[in-house]
Amino acid sequence: MAKNKQHFPKIGPIGYEGPASGNPLAFRHYNPEERIDGRTLREHLRFSIAYWHSFRGVGSDPFGPGTIRREWERGTDPISVAKARMDAGFEFFTKIGAPFWCFHDRDIAPEGRTLAESNRHLDALVAHAKALQKATGVKLLWGTANLFSNPRYMCGAATNPDAHVFAYAAAQVKKALEVTLELGGENYVFWGGREGYETLLNTNLKREQDHLAAFLHMAVAYAKEIGFKGQFLIEPKPKEPTKHQYDFDVASGIAFLRTYGLDRHFKFNIETNHATLAGHTFPHEIEVAAAVGMLGSIDANAGDLLLGWDTDQFNTDAKELTLAMVSILRAGGLGSGGLNFDAKLRRPSIDPADLFYAHIGGFDTYALAFKTARRILADGKFTEFVAERYSSYDAGFGKDIERRKVGFKDLERLVLKTLGEPVPRSGRQEKLENLLNTYLH
Ligand code: XUL
Ligand code: CO
């Protein structure tokens, strides 16, 4: 960081002041130093800032241009501007107290006229990032490549009908893997971007899926070759930009990875707004991934159920996040993953202070959710109820069903001779919802 120049001169480091604080520039629930089970809250939650939204987002939408103008964006040399922007980024990461950041290759360095020039730009900014990481202690949660903005990718990258575009995308990801390794990235994300289609009139679905699998196998092979040991993550999204995205949700992602022999190499990066776009809840997606040991990381945000697109809002819904944290904790946590704020300011939230308010709300709500989820799990009331609900599978013929020791004929005999009609039991949903509220209010 340029030693003397401050990009957020009016705002100092954000401190923890406790639940009674009325200071909007302080944490009320997130005390990064608080130790729980031998680890600090900072280590448990592994918050990360998404560079694309917080430092490249300008508030533009299909109806109008950007509204957000940052002072560090002034200047004519794109590389110097990119460096100043990154200085501002690391000042923000430090002041908000985020231990991690995430980026796409093209977020941090401008694309050149050729791939070689783009790579040179990237090298310059990666060197800058490396120095900033060293100076601040902020680490890279994950890297990724932008394979969706440039017009060459309008019909997809790995699923493009033109092998030339596939090759270009491969070259771009090769470099993105190298820079993620160079910066010590703990994971590498594949979001399908434009890997999908609009109409079968011009699409060979089978060949496109085969090509996507070939691409991911190449990534696995190259990571091995260069010694990148980070976790590969698939980020499912059902639609937007294309109508049919191949990584629709976690369940279809698991099927895809297993079909092509890739499941050993990948886990999932689950984004809240993508889950709801798929018609699922956020905890549902977490549970589906956790059930097969493939929960990797979280893109923390929220959608708006009244709008049909990816609004990427900051999430301050304590109930939704508490349920998500219960599922995450029950799964044993996120490992090398983290909670990445893939969220953007609303278009009229134009002040630098808004970037702080947004992340303070996000950090605080997740910290509160984490603590509430721990209480819920420690009390064990829901766990007990669920265990009891399935207890008929713990012994006798139920256990034999789970162990696949009985078949239809055995069970028919059992019902006809001894069991007869099952006695219905309440699912107690309303009682359990009331119980949940006792933890929230
Ligand atoms: C798009 C999205 C991406 C990925 C990374 O909806 O979530 O920003 O997280 O490419
Ligand atoms: Co995302």
**Which listed residue (53, 104, 211, 284) is catalytic?**
104
Q: Output the CA torsion sign for 206, 149, 274, 61.
A: negative
Q: Which residue type sits at 101?
A: W
List the one residue out of 24, 21, 87 whose CA is nearest residue 354.
24
Give yes or no for residue 310 CB within 6 A of ligand 1.
Answer: yes
Residue 190, CA atoms < 13 Å, CB-side half-sphere: 31
- Looking at residue 4, what is its pLDDT? 66
- 191 Cα to the center of ligand 2, angstroms: 7
Nearest ligand 1 atom, CA 104: 10
Q: Please indicate whether residue 394 is annotated as part of the active site.
A: no
- Looking at residue 2, what is its pLDDT? 47
Give yes or no for residue 364 CB within 6 A of ligand 1.
Answer: no
Host H or E run for residue 355: helix 352-379
Give yes or no for residue 312 CB within 6 A of ligand 1.
Answer: no
User: Hey, how many other C-beta atoms are within 10 angstroms of the C-beta on 68?
Assistant: 19
Q: Please indicate whether residue 299 is annotated as part of the active site.
A: no
- Looking at residue 1, what is its pLDDT? 47
Give yes or no for residue 189 CB within 6 A of ligand 1.
Answer: yes
- Looking at residue 5, what is its pLDDT? 85
Candidate of 144, 190, 272, 273 to mutate for ligand 1, largest count of ligand atoms within 8 Å of Cβ: 144
Residue 6 backbone phi and psi in degrees, to 5:
-105, 135
Give yes or no for residue 342 CB within 6 A of ligand 1.
Answer: yes
Give yes or no for residue 148 CB within 6 A of ligand 1.
Answer: no
- 272 Cα to the center of ligand 2, angstroms: 9
Q: Whose CA is nearest to atom 3 of ligand 1?
A: 191
Q: How many helices (H) and strands (E) does the chain have?
A: 16, 14
Q: What is the largest CA-CA distance in the chain?
A: 86
DSSP secondary structure code for residue 28 in this structure: S
DSSP string, 242-299: SSEESS-SHHHHHHHHHHTT-TTTEEEEEEHHHHHHTT--HHHHHHHHHHTT-EEEEE
Rounded-to-integer distance, Cα 91 and Cα 70, Å:
14
- 191 Cα to the center of ligand 1, angstroms: 6
Q: Is 56 exposed, middle or buried (0-12, 13-18, 19+ CB in 10 A)?
A: middle
Place of tokens 């090769």: 174
Nearest ligand 1 atom, CA 240: 6
- In this structure, what token pair is assigned to residue 204? 């060979």
Give yes or no for residue 103 CB within 6 A of ligand 1.
Answer: no
Residue by residue, pLDDT tens for the chain (441 residues) are 445 689 999 999 999 999 999 999 999 999 999 999 999 999 999 999 999 999 999 999 999 999 999 999 999 999 999 999 999 999 999 999 999 999 999 999 999 999 999 999 999 999 999 999 999 999 999 999 999 999 999 999 999 999 999 999 999 999 999 999 999 999 999 999 999 999 999 999 999 999 999 999 999 999 999 999 999 999 999 999 999 999 999 999 999 999 999 999 999 999 999 999 999 999 999 999 999 999 999 999 999 989 989 999 999 999 999 999 999 999 999 999 999 999 999 999 999 999 999 999 999 999 999 999 999 999 999 999 999 999 999 999 999 999 999 999 999 999 999 999 999 999 999 999 999 999 998
Q: Where are the beta strands (DSSP E) in 349-435?
A: none
Q: Whose CA is nearest to atom 8 of ligand 1?
A: 342
Q: Where are the beta strands (DSSP E) in 76-149?
A: 100-104, 139-144
- pTM, two decimals, is 0.97
